[in-house]
Amino acid sequence: MKVKTCICKSPGQRALLSLLALAAALALVMAWTAVAHASTAANTTIRNTVTVNYADTAGTAQNPLTASVDITVNLVESTPLLSAPADQSIDASQTAVYSYTITSTANGPDTYALNVPAVVESAGISGSSATLSQTSIVLGATTVAADITISASGTTDITVPSDNTNNTEVNGIKDNDTVVIGGEVFTVYSVIDNPGVGTSTITVNGNGTALTVHAGDIIGEQGRFTLTVTPGTVSDATTDQTITVDISADGGSGAATDQTVTTVTAVQLTVSKYVRNVDDPNGSGTSITVDSNTYYDSNVKGDPGDTMEYLIVVSNAASSSTATNVTIRDSVPAFTTYVTESMALDTGSGSFTSLKDDANGGDAGEYDAANGIIYIYAGTGGNDGGAGFGDGAGGSLPANTTTYGRFRVTINN
């Protein structure tokens, strides 16, 4: 089976993905607007200094006296913003990987615990797993210190409060980080960290749109992690099965949550049987033309000695998953004799390949003459296995693919 979102997309799919991307971007802006608020960065030192001026008894001015007191701003935890990737459909042999972004809305660096609170499966599948790429993520954050317009192109220096540390980052934000300001995503070009009381500078690259930001606006780091959903054992492959996974990201003040639904698609093959009279073409039933020959599903007549060619059509057009181990097993009808070495297979490529009758011929066919049974290991990659009849391995048949098998008999005289 295969994931519905394929590498090669139609124009309609590309347009849909573009709309989804635009919707995600708008959702980020709206969500950011809902949680963003004027704030002061954590670890900022707020210093209040008083000055006393005086003179001596003779009226001579003396050196002013000063006294200071500092306040350190605490971290105010806030529920992060969590993206919501689109649900996926996969085969039972595949895994679904969901890529998440998580954006800090706090006023300083915070650690966000990542969890999978629940995995719920439908009745026809069991033992599925959901694994996060990590159990926690640390995101930096600070605030804008003075109003400024971020240029659409080039770089812009943004003044932010110093964080009272002497290193190469400001409140966990460093070079090349991805940050969100005012709902827009930017890449950090460089950081100038000035320890102590005062301000530092975060320089960001333009993202194509000019944006005016204000003092107190949050600059939140955006991180990434993945969720991998692995299907368990499918006990009912006739219908689609679902794996519903809840995840949460909690920074201490409340968890952001998301839910994914992974659909394990069922394989629904169809099979049709046709025949043609090679010596005297005739028939009035439903017809199909394959390899320049026309076959009918009914009303085909033949004389003793006529050669009849049967066509088996196996289609996987009804599902979106790859069928595996596709094996055609057919019996030579009574009152007929199998035509030696008449088996052939079209794996779905549009051309037939002749098959040998023996059990270990190294191809995808075999004929058990003792029991009058034909085996064609259809699809792609089938083979006749070892020395015994019927012990081969069927091939695979992707969605929207049809494989054909054929063989001939003569009507007994």
270-411, which class in CATH?
mainly beta
Residues 284-326: tens digit of each pLDDT: 999 999 999 999 999 999 999 999 999 999 999 877 788 889 9
What is the rounded distance in angstroms from the CA atom of residue 280 to the CA atom of residue 260? 59
* Residue 23: per-residue pLDDT: 47
Which residues, in sequence order, are bridge partners of residue 184?
181
Query: pLDDT-based confidence at 38, cuts 50/70/90?
Result: low
Same fold, 77-264 and 270-411: yes
What is the rounded distance in angstroms from the CA atom of residue 403 to the CA atom of residue 379? 6
CATH code reported for the domain at 77-264: 2.60.40.2310
* Residue 15: per-residue pLDDT: 45
The structure's pTM equals 0.71
Residues 246-281: tens digit of each pLDDT: 999 999 999 999 999 999 998 889 999 999 999 999
| CA 115 to chain CA mean position, Å | 19
Q: Is the pLDDT of residue 36 over 60?
A: no
* Residue 39: per-residue pLDDT: 87
Distances from the Cα of 11 to the Cαs of 8, 187, 346, in angstroms?
Answer: 10, 30, 30
Domain ranges of the chain: 77-264, 270-411
Distances from the Cα of 300 to the Cαs of 281, 284, 314, in angstroms?
Answer: 8, 7, 21
Q: Is the pLDDT of residue 361 over 80?
A: no
Mean pLDDT score of the chain: 90
